[in-house]
Structure 1
Amino acid sequence: MKKFLSCRPAILLAGMFVTFMAFVVVWCAGTTFRAMSDWHLYLFNIFAALLLTLPAVLTRKVWVQIVIMSLIDCLLVSNLMYCRTYMTAIPLDSYFLAGNLADFTASVIDSLRMADIVFPLITILTAILAVRAKKQWNWSRLKYSAITIATGVAAILGMVPYGGFYNEYDRLAESCYYSTCGVPIYTVGGHLAYNAMSSSAVLTPETERNVAQWVKSKESLRSFEALPDGVGQRLNLVVVLLESFESWLVETRIDGKEITPYINSLVADSTTLFYPNMLTQVASGRSIDCQLLLTSGLLPMLNSVYSMKYPATDYPSLCKALREERGARSVILTCDKPVTWNQEVISRSMGYDSLIHRGAWKIDEVVGNPAKLSDGSFLRQSVELLKRDGAGIDGHPFMLTFVTYSGHNPFRLPDDMKDPGFMIGRSRYPDKMVDYVTMAHYTDSCLATLVEYFKSRPDYKDTMILITGDHEGLASDRASILRSEAAQGIVSPRQLTPFILLNSPVPGRSDAVMGQIDMYPTLLAMLGLGDYFWKGMGQNILTEGRPEVAVSSMTGEILGDTADIPPAVIQNILDARRISDAIITHDMLRSQDRNAR
């Protein structure tokens, strides 16, 4: 040990390697430790440490290594923070969106953990020990370079029996139990390399065959089913996407108080269709992924955010189906900027006629950090806009999508906006849970303005209103909240959002499992759009005998009882995301969409 502490390059190399291994441990603690049983993990992390210490060895400058380690600290901590919400590392194309973080500062800070302090501490300790080392630079530059190259070659050759780096990483990414293991095994650099290789993929005959076979199999095993004869379809659709809204909030009381009294009244209505067990299937795109699932019936991409990577792809959609069938107009309303998740461009690609965004609203009441238009003001102004000029839909069948914001993490509602009759004791429940239910109660109180307006319209008899969460909300906070005995039995351990369809042609209630991917074909059927060429990757939830299962895009786990479901059906469901990724990447539905028109 004394000899080691006197050798400067050894200290720098060790500091770099310990940094990588600290990342592995912290990452695995939040996902799975399966990665640490793979020998590639140690070889690739040794190679990464050797490679990133090489500049300091060549220049004989300690400060060079400290700068590199500081930058690596920022990179690793950023990816850990991202993983705590999205269960994956930052996609390559998302690094070009760093400017968007200014709108989510509070959420970013909320993703930090005490364990993250270990990274700057390792860097500081490495700097102190290296500066104090007696044997300053006693390693040969040539020998060190040769060792680095040899280790890299060994790492590459070690992948050959597994079909090469890309194939092995791809296998992990698509695995149910190892989907998060690629990053610790091959480092963040390997993750970015895999992203780059994926984005440069060309459409091969094999991919075309796989997609065609999957679609044929899906039509055979999980066919689209229209509404029964005699059941009246709806002409118009209103979608309300509640930010981070989870199912367990509905019909739940806390300290004797209803969390969502207004939504509860809607669920109790005899014309409502309610499915509380809808699994969140968004991935790293979160809110924008929900729009893909619901509007286009496609699953999130494996390693990219579709709206950023492939905004020009021709996406099939409910908007386009409504326009083709009955000349409908479609408008999406949000209080966000048009550049957020590339919303303006992707809205056009999905067939919306217009996007009404932050610039259209008077910012008279704000929530969040940074502050954005409150749900109350957003929905009130939306109704005023519809009454004033119809938002471009008057005289046409329509699809309107409202995207709320107030429920965004960290769920902090200003005191003067809280309901004095809904005060939850922080001494009994975790702070994050109290903040979350308080915000949900607030959003619930705002909904009446919008829903009651549509109910008052003469065309309401032909209009459905879908209320759902865009994705789950508690993310990595769920585990810590559930450690509280008071929270158990209230907060669900599952990532579920509600499917609440008002004025449904087929009302009712079911506790059956569904996925967000099932919303598209269900709405397609309810709107009488069964002739549209794209039926989606899910299934109409009213189909008798449908497989009541769903697959998480974040973990790959299957929710629901698979015991009586044929293996071929399960495989078709499991393969869906890979097929969706190929469809989006290669714009494989464009020609069919044009032919349909």
Structure 2
Amino acid sequence: MLSTFTPFSKVETYLDTILVSLFLLLPLVCFRAVKTTWVIFFILDGLFISNLMYFRTYFTAIPLDSYLLVGNLSDFASSVLDSWRMVDLFFPLSTVAAGVLWWRNFYRKPENKTVEQPKRGRTFVRYIALVCLIALVPAIRLWSQNGFKVAYERLQDAYLHTCNIPMYTIFGSLYYDYTCDHIVYTEEIKDRIDSWLARKTDLQSVFPQVYSKDNCIIILAESLESWVLEKTVEGQEITPNLNKILRDSSVIYAPHVLSQVKGGRSIDAQLLMGTGLLPIQSGPYSIKFPESYYPSVVKAFKGKHKNAKAYSLTIDKPMVWNQCIIAPVLGFDSLVSKTCFIQEEPVGSRKQVGDRAFLRQCLEKMKNNEVWDDSGNTFLQCITYSGHNPFILPDSLKRVSFSPDIPEVLNNYMTMANYTDRAIGEFISRIKADKRFDNTLVMIMGDHEALGTVRKELCNDPVGKNIVSDKAFVPLIILNAPFNMYYGKVMGQVDVYPTLLDLLGLNDYWWKGLGESIFNPQKPDFDVDPQLNIVGDTAGVPEETIRMLKKSWEISDLIIRYDYLGHKLNVKEEPAKVVGMK
């Protein structure tokens, strides 16, 4: 219902579903283990519902290793419930219906309650023979396609990537994750990466090599989309403060940054912006591959500036997205987390510190030199939270109000965006009064899109279609830039990394990333989203360039998964201090 009906035309959908069903029914058919069968049914109901809910946000099935992280859901209960739909009741209700039918047609008939032992034995043999016969057909098909993994990966393109679960079932998806996690790094994999990197054209930046800033502040705004900027709805400006910032003479503004996060969401945004790598195919890189080597803009900054310090500030717990491990891996000296902030202006379902209070406290820590050293260079990353769905903002913090004609989720999102805008506006206004601002580059970016599958509904709504963009764009705003610039072309979040290298005078850093700086005049005017859809203008672009850009997703996955850069450099990271962790 959320993806495509293409799997209905694939024979695997029917063969594999029948095969898995036969396996799951074995306890009932062969051993009359009724209670065991009901347990299996209800576990399946939970499995199906949880995967549907996950898909509505991440557009993929739950990765194998994410099942071990179920404890993290306690902090995101409202967001999880927001992904639930009434149609999900079909699964437990169908199980209950099956139970009623069984009770009426089997349990109440005494002659069906007992089965002779010899008959059970014959039934078991015949049933196993049936399973083997059914399994023979998909086995032959997989053999003809060079095995399960190759067949599965053929579906990972813009049109078929949602077919793998219906065709191979959830269990096929879990098995695929398992096979990917147990492949050894080989020369063949190294050659595949080397070959792609060798063919990647390193476009020459026209940015002045001599330009640089001694400090950098990055604000990753949770779920901030581009369309809310410079937008007036029912006579109310959604982001008046950001709009004012855009009119500054030293601002670079790119409104069409394609959201490229996958299963890691916010932590993927840090990967894209900070390392120039794309997210892995399934699951969060920070949890699956924290021991891989990641070059980063933070490491480049610290390499250029002696005694430089880097801090990542968040009101979340250190364990969320495995930040306590991945922050030092990306080069940060300290992760300043939840217990370091005073609980003010609670926002959202988790009652986390609101964006205004968070950025105000960040500023206080800067002025007190807790996360800023006057004697050296500083790199700060501030990660806001209030924009996290389901966009619950207390009435006391609201400054805009929209009519009931606007869909509720859209109303809530715009109200929250207005609150975040106020928080950023106050932060920028105060930081400009600091003497260190003149030598500080400030970057504001939405960490990822916000609306997920709701976007389509809103774009079809008679009111929403005139407000919401049908594209998953986030804004990129750079303050204290050397010149004023409006970059109206489509770029990916992966392009932010090389752009930052240019702006911070780090052009000579050895790792340029998989994207291209917006200061490269030959940069393509399009990019590829996580579903391998082309977004932007491809007129006159060679097919090879398009294929290379699509292939970059697979190459990035291989680079991270097999620690390609770690093997190449033969380096290991030293652990760093984690602040605010009990």
Specify if TM > 0.5.
yes
Change (3 A) 1:595 1:65: closer
2:131 maps to 148
* Deviation of the 1:588 alpha carbon: 1.2
Secondary structure of the 1:320 match is helix
Provide the residue aligned with 2:224 in structure 1. Answer: 245
Partner secondary structure for residue 219 of structure 2: strand
Q: What displacement does 1:510 show?
A: 2.3
**Any idea what the Cα deviations from partners look like across 1:497-537, whole Å, max 9, x if unmatched?**
01111111242112200000000000011111111110000
Question: What is residue 577 of structure 2 aligned with on the other side?
Answer: none
Q: Which residue of 1 aligns with 2:519?
A: 542
Deviations 1:435-461 (A, max 9, x none): 000000011111123222322222222
Please give the alpha-carbon distance, in whole angstroms, between the structure 2 residues aligned to 1:390 and 1:480. 46
Q: Does 1:157 align with 2:140?
A: yes
Match of 2:215 among 220, 236, 245: 236
Give the distance between the partners of 1:484 and 1:64, measured in 2 at CA.
46
Q: Shift of the alpha carbon at 1:592?
A: 4.9
What corresponds to 1:378 in structure 2? 358
Secondary structure of the residue that 2:80 maps to in structure 1? helix
Alignment counterpart, residue 212 of structure 1, candidates 194, 204, 208? 194
Decide whether the 8 Å contact of 1:316 with 1:593 is kept in 2.
no
Determine which of 361, 376, 401 is the counterpart of 1:396.
Answer: 376
With 496-505 and 256-265 compared, the bigger mean Cα shift is at 496-505
Q: Distance in 1 between matches of 2:4 and 2:484?
A: 41
Where do 1:10-159 residues align within 5 Å? 29-134=1-106, 136=112, 140-159=123-142
Tell me if the contact between 1:91 and 1:304 (Cα under 8 Å) persists in the aligned partners.
yes
Q: In structure 2, what is the Cα distance between the partners aligned to 1:199 and 1:505?
A: 45
Cα displacement string for residues 407-466 of structure 1 (whole angstroms, at most 9, x for unaligned residues): 1000010111112xx11112x100000000000001111112322232222222221111
Q: Which runs of 5+ in 2 are unaligned?
A: 574-582
User: Given the alignment of the two structures, is residue 489 of structure 1 paired with residue 472 of structure 2, yes or no?
Assistant: no
The percentage of counterpart residues that share the same residue type is: 38
Task: Say if 2:241 is the partner of 1:265.
Answer: no
1:133/1:588 CA distance change after superposition, 3 Å: same
Task: Report the equivalent of 2:445.
Answer: 468
CA distance in 1, matches of 2:246, 2:537: 26
Of residues 57-66 and 262-271 in structure 1, the stretch that sits farther from structure 2 once superposed is 57-66
Alignment of 1:503-522 (within 5 A): 503-522=480-499
**1:240, distance to aligned residue in structure 2 (A):** 0.4
Q: Which amino acid in structure 2 is aligned with residue 396 of structure 1?
A: G
Equivalent of 2:184 in 194, 202, 209: 202
Please say if residues 62 and 131 of structure 1, whose CA atoms lie closer than 8 Å, have aligned partners that are also in contact.
Answer: no
Query: What SS does the corresponding residue of 1:241 show, helix, strand or coil?
Result: strand
Go from structure 1 to structure 2 and tell me whether the alpha carbon gap of 1:155 and 1:136 turns closer, same or farther (over 3 Å shift): farther
State which drifts further: 456-465 or 358-367.
456-465
| Aligned-partner residue type, residue 556 of structure 1 | L
- 1:8-49: CA deviation from partner (whole Å, max 9, x where unpaired): xxxxxxxxxxxxxxxxxxxxx101111221101110000111
Partner of 2:397: 417
Counterparts in 2 of 1:528 and 1:89: CA distance versus 1, 3 Å: same
Would the aligned equivalents of 1:407 and 1:440 in 2 still touch at CA under 8 Å? yes
Q: Is the 8 A contact 1:294 1:517 kept in 2?
A: yes
1:392, distance to aligned residue in structure 2 (A): 4.7
Ranges of 4+ aligned residues in structure 1 off by more than 4 Å: 591-597
**1:446–1:201 Cα change, 3 Å:** same
Aligned to 1:532: 509
How many angstroms apart in 1 are the aligned matches of 2:478 and 2:264? 24
The aligned counterpart of 1:8 is none
Cα distance in 2, alignment partners of residues 301 and 213 from structure 1: 19
1:213 deviates by 1.3
In the alignment, the residues of structure 1 paired with residue 112 and residue 459 of structure 2 have an alpha-carbon distance, to the nearest angstrom, of: 51
User: 2:152 corresponds to which residue?
Assistant: 169
53-62 or 466-475: bigger deviation = 53-62
> What amino acid does structure 2 have at the position aligned with 1:460?
F
Inter-partner Cα distance in structure 2 for 1:187 and 1:46: 10
**2:254/2:487 contact within 8 Å kept:** yes
| Alignment match of 1:570 (pick from 539, 543, 546) | 546
Name the CA distance, whole Å, in 2 between partners of 1:209 and 1:242: 38
1:210 corresponds to which letter in structure 2? R
CA distance in 1, matches of 2:255, 2:9: 38
CA contact (8 A) 2:293 2:572 kept: no
Equivalent-residue separation in structure 2 for 1:502 and 1:112 (angstroms) = 40
CA distance in 2, matches of 1:372, 1:293: 25
Aligned to 2:413: 436
8 A contact 1:159–1:168 mirrored in 2? yes
One-letter code aligned to 1:583: I
Residues 177-214 of structure 1, C-alpha deviation per residue, up to 9 Å, x if partnerless? 11111111101100000001011111122211111111
Task: Determine helix, strand or coil for the equivalent of 2:471.
Answer: coil
Answer yes or no: is the 8 Å Cα contact 1:227–1:528 preserved in 2.
no
**Number of corresponding residues:** 561
How far is the alpha carbon of 1:563 from its aligned partner?
2.4
1:233 and 1:505 in contact (8 A); partners too = no
**Preserved CA contact (<8 Å) 1:62 1:130:** no
Which residue matches 1:189?
Answer: 171
User: Could you tell me which residue of structure 1 aligns to residue 207 of structure 2?
Assistant: 227
State the AA in 1 paired with 2:391: F
Pair 462,591 (structure 1): closer, same or farther in 2 beyond 3 Å:
farther
Counterpart of 2:327 (choices 337, 347, 366) is 347
Residue aligning to 1:358: 338
Query: How far does the alpha carbon of each residue in 1:298-334 deviate from its partner, in whole angstroms, 9 at most, with x for none?
Result: 0000123110011111110011001111122110000
**Matches of 1:496 and 1:425 in 2, distance apart?**
25
- Report SS of the residue matched to 1:159: helix
Q: Note if 1:459 corresponds to 2:446.
A: no
Q: Distance in 1 between matches of 2:362 and 2:130?
A: 64
Instruction: Write the distance in 1 (CA, Å) between the matches of 2:439 and 2:72.
Output: 39
Once the two structures are TM-superposed, the CA of residue 477 in structure 1 deviates from its matched residue by 1.4
**Cα distance change of structure 1 residues 224 and 119 upon mapping to structure 2, 3 Å threshold:** farther
1:223 shift after superposition? 2.5
In the alignment, is the contact (CA less than 8 A) between 1:62 and 1:127 conserved in 2?
Answer: no
Contact between 1:107 and 1:409, CA under 8 Å: does it hold in 2? yes
Q: How far apart, CA to CA, are the structure 2 residues paired with 1:406 and 1:80?
A: 25
Once residues 524 and 136 of structure 1 are traced to their aligned partners in structure 2, the CA distance between those partners, rounded to angstroms, is 74
Is the Cα contact below 8 Å between 2:566 and 2:572 reproduced in 1? no
- Superposed displacement of residue 100, structure 1: 0.8
Between 1:82-91 and 1:361-370, the stretch displaced more is 361-370
8 Å Cα contact 1:226/1:528 also seen in 2? no
Paired amino acid for 2:274: T
Does residue 278 of the first structure (1) align with residue 257 of the second (2)? yes
Cα distance 1:595–1:94, how it changes in 2: closer, same or farther (>3 A)?
closer
Deviation of residue 489 (structure 1)? Answer: 2.2
For structure 1, the 5+ residue unaligned runs are 1-28
Residue aligned with 2:466, SS: coil
